[in-house]
Amino acid sequence: QKEVEQDPGPLSVPEGAIVSLNCTYSNSAFQYFMWYRQYSRKGPELLMYTYSSGNKEDGRFTAQVDKSSKYISLFIRDSQPSDSATYLCAMKTSYDKVIFGPGTSLSVIP
Amino acid sequence: EAQVTQNPRYLITVTGKKLTVTCSQNMNHEYMSWYRQDPGLGLRQIYYSMNVEVTDKGDVPEGYKVSRKEKRNFPLILESPSPNQTSLYFCASILSLSEGRVSEAFFGQGTRLTVV
């Protein structure tokens, strides 16, 4: 079993839809949880970052962490064509080893 | 402008010929890291550095070396490249990852390496 699993997609939604992106993990030592967005031919950019369990909201983006279920989610409200990208979850222990999920490709259709 | 600069962007080399990919950041970040990205495998951490003269192995360190003599530079060295190191490489620079602190994380534009 991989340490971090993520539905690879591709995921295709109409503009304005609510998007749910999910990751599961097996290592209970992960404490820091991140979501990155990667456009084609670009480096990843950090979208959201949370510590331990709970929710965090930033504009149209909401990150949720459920450590008891080893499950994290990123919700995108009112999705836009500019949200079309690959979304990567990433996790880190307190010893600074970062593990990325394989990424989910999202297309938002106008 | 805050940025992470990798060079070269594209490189084709032959098996066994030593090469170095440079990475430089202008943000005074402590934490730097190298990743490789392969289809279906996502980003895998090669090496990371928490500060000058402090480096540690990530998940896939075999065949790679790094050094951190200065805070701004974190070169990736392939002493004897092999075809299985053909990949897209990213350098990343992060201010800090700790509870309650706003983090900055920047990735370089990537280096596409082909080893024939």
pLDDT tens digit sequence for A51-103? 888 888 989 999 999 999 999 999 999 999 999 999 999 988 766 667 888 89
A92:B103 CB<8 A: no
Is some CB atom of chain B closer than 8 A to the CB atom of A63? no
Determine the pLDDT at residue A96.
Answer: 62
Of B31, B100, B109, the CB nearest to A96: B31
Is some CB atom of chain B closer than 8 A to the CB atom of A103? yes
B108:A8 CB<8 A: no
B42:A6 CB<8 A: yes
pLDDT tens digit sequence for B38-77? 987 888 989 999 889 999 998 899 999 999 999 999 999 9
Contact indicator for A63, A35 with CB cutoff of 8 Å: yes
Contacts of A101 in chain B (CB under 8 A): 42
Residue closest to B86 by CA, chosen among B115, B66, B109, B106: B115
Q: Report the gap between the CA of A14 and the closest CA in chain B (Å).
A: 25
Of B40, B44, B109, the CB nearest to A42: B109
Provide the pLDDT confidence category of residue A32 given band limits of 50, 70 and 90.
Answer: confident
Could you please report the per-residue DSSP string of A70-100?
TEEEEEESS--GGG-EEEEEEEE-TT--EEE
| Residue B98 scores a pLDDT above 60 | no
B56:A96 CB<8 A: yes
List the single residue in A with minimal CA-CA distance to B90.
A43
CA distances from A51 to A1, A14, A62, B30 (A): 24, 31, 14, 19
Determine the pLDDT at residue B101.
Answer: 47
Residue closest to A98 by CA, chosen among A23, A8, A31: A31
